[in-house]
Amino acid sequence: MSHKIQTLSGYIHEYQKSVLQPEAFWARIAESFHWKKTWDKTLDWDFEGPDVKWFVDGKLNITENIFERYLHTKGDTPAIIWEPNDPKEDNRIITYRELFELTNQFCNALKAQGIQKGDRVIIYMPMVPEAAIAMLACARLGAVHSVVFAGFSSSSLADRINDCEAKMVLTSDGNFRGAKQIPVKAVVDEAIENTPSIEKVIVLKRTGEEVTMKADRDIWWHDAIAGHSAAFKAEEMDSEDMLFILYTSGSTGKPKGVVHTTGGYMVYTQYSFENVFQYTQGDVYWCTADVGWITGHSYIVYGPLLAGATTLMFEGVPTFPHAGRFWEICDKYQVNQFYTAPTAIRALQAHGLEPLEPYSLQSLKVIGSVGEPINEEAWHWYHDHVGKGNCPLVDTWWQTETGGIMISALAGITPNKPAHASLPLPGIQPVIVDAEGNELTGNNVEGNLCIKFPWPSILRTTYGDHEKCKNVYFSTYKGMYFTGDGAKRDHDGYLRILGRVDDVINVSGHRMGTAEVENAINEHPKVIESAVVGFPHEVKGQGIYAYVICDMEGRTEESLKNEIKDTVRKIIGPIAKPDEVQIVPGLPKTRSGKIMRRILRKVASKDLSNLGDTSTLLNPEVVDDIIKGAGLK
């Protein structure tokens, strides 16, 4: 039975029910899934711990809700349509039955290589169907997957492997990305020099480039699956058994391993997918994210497949071999729902309308946005030229930690308002609070965004460090989950997300902690101290600006700046490379020694108004030097 909301009054009705009787509301939705044993209690929760359990003592396997649930009706329906990086290469269309068999076969391969229920498996792969097969196979045998975006460096990869003590890495020889070919296996080799827990590496042949294969450790994917059966009995999992760990940046130094569990994540991703995108059976849905991010987990793989949808997976980039690539793919497969990020829209907007001209885009019914606030200009361009003015544009606000979309219009059901995420989904109770944590009720209010009641796909912990989970998300405001975002409820009652209020920068929709980038910069032997802030960037949304105190001996300013950028690229990955590096004589500090980031943010955004009183600083004179150094005086 579908729980798709059909009308505005239906939304209002469902929302009210979900707030008045959340347990009854979610129990009714969960009943439409296949459970090996139904739950004894719908919800157990306490935000102090935090300790949240949904569908307590329920037993299930999430992949049975994709495969066994649909095989008799959808065996021959395409589950995944895969479009390669290079349009000249053949595409692949994989039906539900084929995906089922490929998943089972890979389960058998993983088992033969020593993977058991509870083991952690790292997936560091390109956007190919095998990445989804790897995730599903882990879930089916009860292993915990942790996908690491294949643009991260070897040391970022090693940190994640060590944090969760993974036993295996799944990777490829190389990745195609636009005109580039990236030697991924070499990155893995470097990473696992320092990861004692890794026993095996399975390598998918993708680019055919030469790689070193270490005997007894490395095995080709095609050899690993050879001779294995296409049948595998799904492991019985508890609702609260871990499904995956996904690392994400926060305001503290190292990325945190956000933990999602089986039952609640399953229920929420399908429910939110069907409702936000108003997916109808037979539609072709396309989300352009990478499976290395939460959007790829929830809205390329799990949500759509749980809904029995056809999900398109694209290996490449928006501008290769030409800036009309996205639109070409939309027409080629008659895509009905298209979901992308504002940064991609802005990048394509810069190419003008010409690349759109050869394509009709007539099949599109719904367009969506995710990852960062969408500015009004990009909103209108996307709405008018891609959606041709007649597709609802769902601006979906959510986070790695929330597992699924929290605030968004339901396409064509609830009203669209440019640059507003708008209204919460049923079951989601957002509140705007002031600095003291008082709830700001009514309209026309602005403050920090919290959620005051659990929803099924809320994070359960941060891997190996529950205290951190408590401190980061549940301690700032007592009894509430704190999102780290600022928000405004406008005069009509629609929510607008204002961006992060903590030390997290959002670069092209990717989260970077300022402390994390500073730690990387400080690895350079010539660096004495650094401070990193975000600044407005036309395409990326935010760019990274680094202020660095250096020992200049033997270096020119230019060479040092490049070395610093390179250090960050090597330590974290290309996405964290600073856009600007400014060498400074000092950093503005308070008398207690805290860096005044507010001033640095102002200078980085070339805005010298309201710098505030700098006379109370420990070193007021550096402010002038910094302003001059930035070329603003």
Size of the site for ligand 6R9 (CB under 6 A): 25
Between 261 and 340, name the residue whose CB sits nearer to ligand 6R9: 340
Between 378 and 532, name the residue whose CB sits nearer to ligand 6R9: 378
Between 63 and 448, name the residue whose CB sits nearer to ligand 6R9: 448
Regarding 370 and contact with ligand 6R9 (CB under 6 A), the answer is yes
Per the CB < 8 A criterion, the answer to whether 396 and 471 are in contact is no
Regarding 29 and contact with ligand 6R9 (CB under 6 A), the answer is no
For 105, phi then psi, to 5°, come to -60, -40
Regarding 451 and contact with ligand 6R9 (CB under 6 A), the answer is no
Per the CB < 8 A criterion, the answer to whether 519 and 564 are in contact is no
Between 251 and 519, name the residue whose CB sits nearer to ligand 6R9: 251
CA distances from 261 to 196, 306, 333, 467 (A): 26, 15, 33, 18
Least separation in angstroms between residue 502's CB and ligand 6R9 is: 9
Least separation in angstroms between residue 506's CB and ligand 6R9 is: 5
Torsional sign, CA 183, 189, 195, 199: positive
Candidates 25-33, 393-401, 551-559, 616-624; binding stretch for ligand 6R9 (CB under 6 A): 393-401
Between 185 and 417, name the residue whose CB sits nearer to ligand 6R9: 417
Regarding 396 and contact with ligand 6R9 (CB under 6 A), the answer is yes
301: Cα within 13 Å, side-chain hemisphere:
30
Regarding 455 and contact with ligand 6R9 (CB under 6 A), the answer is no
End-to-end CA distance of the chain: give it in Å, rounded: 66
Q: How far is CA 123 from the centre of its chain?
A: 15
Quick count: other Cβ atoms within 10 Å of Cβ 401? 23
Binding mask 206-245 for ligand 6R9 (x = CB under 6 A): ----------------------------------------
Regarding 248 and contact with ligand 6R9 (CB under 6 A), the answer is yes
Regarding 140 and contact with ligand 6R9 (CB under 6 A), the answer is no
CA–CA distance, 510 with 126 (Å, rounded to integer) = 17
Quick count: other Cβ atoms within 10 Å of Cβ 399? 17
Regarding 506 and contact with ligand 6R9 (CB under 6 A), the answer is yes
Between 77 and 399, name the residue whose CB sits nearer to ligand 6R9: 399
CA–CA distance, 487 with 376 (Å, rounded to integer) = 16
* Structure tokens belonging to residue 455: 């929803």
Regarding 397 and contact with ligand 6R9 (CB under 6 A), the answer is yes
Name the helix (H) or strand (E) containing 325: helix 325-333
- 485, 502, 503, 516: residue in contact with ligand 6R9 (rule CB under 6 A): 485
For 107, phi then psi, to 5°, come to -55, -45
DSSP letter for each residue of 480-499: SEEEEEEEEE-TTS-EEEEE
Exposure of 210 by Cβ count < 10 A (0-12 exposed, 13-18 middle, 19+ buried)?
exposed
Between 15 and 397, name the residue whose CB sits nearer to ligand 6R9: 397
Between 137 and 413, name the residue whose CB sits nearer to ligand 6R9: 413
Least separation in angstroms between residue 371's CB and ligand 6R9 is: 4
With H, G, I as helix, E, B as strand and everything else as coil, classify residue 620.
coil
- 295, 337, 422, 476: residue in contact with ligand 6R9 (rule CB under 6 A): 295
| Paired sense of beta strands 461-462 and 256-261, if any | antiparallel
Regarding 454 and contact with ligand 6R9 (CB under 6 A), the answer is no
- 62, 169, 184, 294: residue in contact with ligand 6R9 (rule CB under 6 A): 294
- State the residues that interact with ligand 6R9 by CB under 6 A: 248, 293-295, 369-373, 395-400, 421, 483-485, 497, 499-500, 506, 509, 511
